[in-house]
Structure 1
């Protein structure tokens, strides 16, 4: 597993500098250079990185080989193929990386407010189970995302999300209604029998080493990446 920051890339402001998102208005050549650097850093060919056309859906796609283009209209990927790196782009949403090493199954989900509300993480676990994973063996990393104290939303929105993703409603630093999507996902995963969960505590809204759409508007995207090694580990 790898989670990038915004440092060490080729992109100019406001995408400075390690922007991996090709859909945010950055120079395509800079994005290509950054993606090549990522592939080199994790020891894989560029063609082994699998990207998604993330649209805040609850669609999960199984991939069995390299993809010439981002997988269309999906917000989670699952594979059993070694050395195929599943990539999630975020700038406040929750990247969710999942692995059952014994079964040789990995998954990566983009869990924004809408996708998390509509079950993208649950559906990813279900798809992994169909490929032989067992919830009690699945290990999960929730990457850096907007923290509840920074993620202010209207009361009605908070209540709606909490109805579908219990445990996600919280209060912001100002005492207003907020959403802690990671907390809701943790509760959901535990309800599915997935208990080996780690959460990166970094708040993208306040941590300037990370991209944040809520903080900056026009900005880049960091990537969270998971893959099976050739030995299936």
Structure 2
């Protein structure tokens, strides 16, 4: 399996890997069960770890995963210090964010419009800090760009009032939101080093996009895991 992007980074406890899948896999809840199971099996084989998913609800809850067998939570952020567990944040235009601390604590965050406005990434960073982690780095995965994510003017104003960096205009001149810019601004305000992976999901047909494909859209994933 070849990821859309992958990188391995050293931490004090060994190494952590971050990666993003593309349209070759569909990890969405609405995928055919056989296809989704096959996609999860590919992720498991590629990472050597057990994939762990969350029921993403566009909120700010962040859950610490103690074991890959734990019940799948309703949340938009996952953290773990356990090797052999691959955390997944899934998206089809929203922003998947992967977090790695110097001590090997890792996180996966799903940041949609409401998550950006309500600060789910900041909530994940606060949880990592509360657990004693420092030196956090972030990878911001493929998402819909500000030139493509058209919204009503009222909605742009509402989100931008909280996260000014999200205010954008489409390439055709209408109000838009740049969720990726908002996420990067939140990360940088917290002193986090950011790697932007790039790729607009609506423009790049190798990626899943709800804005482009509607209900037929699958889900890509940001994946982070710590090697034993």
TM-score (norm 2): 0.89
Separation in 2, partners of 1:116, 1:67: 29
- 2:114 corresponding residue in structure 1: 114
Q: 2-side partners of 1:132 and 1:84: how far apart?
A: 20
Q: Which residue of 1 aligns with 2:169?
A: 171
Structure 1: how far apart are the matches of 2:104 and 2:26? 30
SS in 2 for 1:150: coil
Work out the CA distance in 1 between the residues paired with 2:185 and 2:55. 27
SS in 2 for 1:96: strand
1:35 is matched with which residue?
Answer: 40
1:67-122 deviations in whole A, cap 9, x for unaligned? 35422x2000011111211101110000000001x222111100000111111000
Counterpart CA distance in 2 for 1:228 and 1:54 is 22
Conservation of the 8 A alpha-carbon contact between 2:165 and 2:181: yes
Alignment of 1:153-168 (within 5 A): 153-168=151-166
Q: How do residues 10-89 of structure 1 correspond to structure 2 at under 5 angstroms?
A: 18-21=25-28, 23-24=29-30, 26-44=31-49, 48-67=50-69, 69-71=71-73, 73-89=74-90
Shift of 1:41: 1.3
**8 A contact 1:105–1:132 mirrored in 2:** no
Once residues 140 and 222 of structure 2 are traced to their aligned partners in structure 1, the CA distance between those partners, rounded to angstroms, is 9
SS at match of 2:107: strand
Where structure 2 has 5 or more consecutive residues not aligned to the other structure, the ranges are: 1-17
Ranges of 4+ aligned residues in structure 1 off by more than 4 Å: none
1:142-194 deviation per Cα after TM superposition (whole angstroms, max 9, x unaligned): 00000000000011101111112221101110111111111111111111121
Aligned to 2:132: 132
2:79, 2:132 → 1: CA distance? Answer: 12
Q: For residues 227 and 163 of structure 2, what CA distance do their matches in structure 1 show?
A: 33
Which is richer in strand? 2
Matched position secondary structure for 1:158: helix
Written as runs of structure 1 = structure 2, the 5 A alignment for 1:216-227 is 216-217=213-214, 218-227=216-225
2:47–2:86 contact (8 Å) kept in structure 1 = no
1:49–1:84 contact (8 Å) kept in structure 2: yes
1:30-61 deviation line (CA, Å, top 9, x unaligned)? 211111111101122xxx21100001111111
Cα RMSD (Å): 1.1
Alignment-derived partner of residue 139 in structure 2: 141
The question of 1:5 aligning with 2:5 is answered: no
Q: What is the TM-score with the length of structure 1 in the denominator? A: 0.87
